[in-house]
Amino acid sequence: MDMMVTGSVIAAVVLALCVWLYLRFMRAQDDGRDDRYGPERILSAEQVAMLDYLQDTFPGQVVLPNINLGQMLSVRRAASKKAAKERLREHRVDFVVCATDGRPTFAFDIEQYHLSNAEAKSQRTKVKNRILKTAGVRFVFLKNGIHRMPSPAEFREQLNLVELPKPKAPAPKPADERDSVMQQLETQMSGFDDRYGRSGYRDSEVLGLSGLMDLEDELKPREQRRRGGAGGGDSRYDGSSFDVRGGR
């Protein structure tokens, strides 16, 4: 009886070993030459149309879709760089516009409505906007359809009003002054954190088209605004003076 049990165990072990060797041999023979693949959609039709629109808005500049913040930003200062890098990897934007040096200048998301868990997503948007703003990248919402967008030329004029300045490194100095250069760079970077461009928008606010148009109206020259409001019969505004009474 013991001999039968022992023989059965040995046979099972030998069989398992043969199966393992066979599978290993088959995997070694599979070099992928017979594999075939098919393309998957990277962008939706709406995203393709918006990409074309942004390329018309920024001619000669690179526009990239679906970019993770970890690919476009680096951590220059943080209490925990590991945690800061992880926060970057948690966020992405629909489109990024790069300057001639390859660095991002604008980031865009397409507006989405009727979202589930809207409060949590709103908080994530605020965090994403704050991260981008500290890097000098303006974050703007796009309408969910190019038929709802202004012309590329008009949109570019609006964006020029809110483009954020970029921190600049000081001019190169000799190696023996490297420590002082690093200190100056850190001081300059720290000062940049308090300079978020020419608009009055707070960290928690993400610009949309309505905000851009309101800001454009605020920054129009006084003469243009008054010309736009001229036409009242009693104003005596002659269209060429800063004085609403018509005098010089």
Q: Phi and psi dihedrals of 96, rounded to 5?
A: -130, 135
Beta-bridged to residue 107, according to DSSP, are 96, 139
Task: List the beta strands (DSSP E) in 56-136.
Answer: 63-68, 92-98, 104-110
Gyration radius (Cα) of the chain, Å:
30
Instruction: Say yes or no to pLDDT of 197 above 90.
Output: no
Alpha-carbon distance 192 to 143, whole Å? Answer: 30
pTM here?
0.61
Please report, for the chain, the start and end positions of each structural domain, with discontinuous segments joined by +: 45-168+183-193+201-222
Q: Give pLDDT tens digits for 61-99.
A: 999 999 999 999 999 999 999 999 999 999 999 999 999
Q: Give pLDDT tens digits for 21-47.
A: 777 766 666 667 778 899 999 999 999
Average pLDDT over residues 149-158: 93
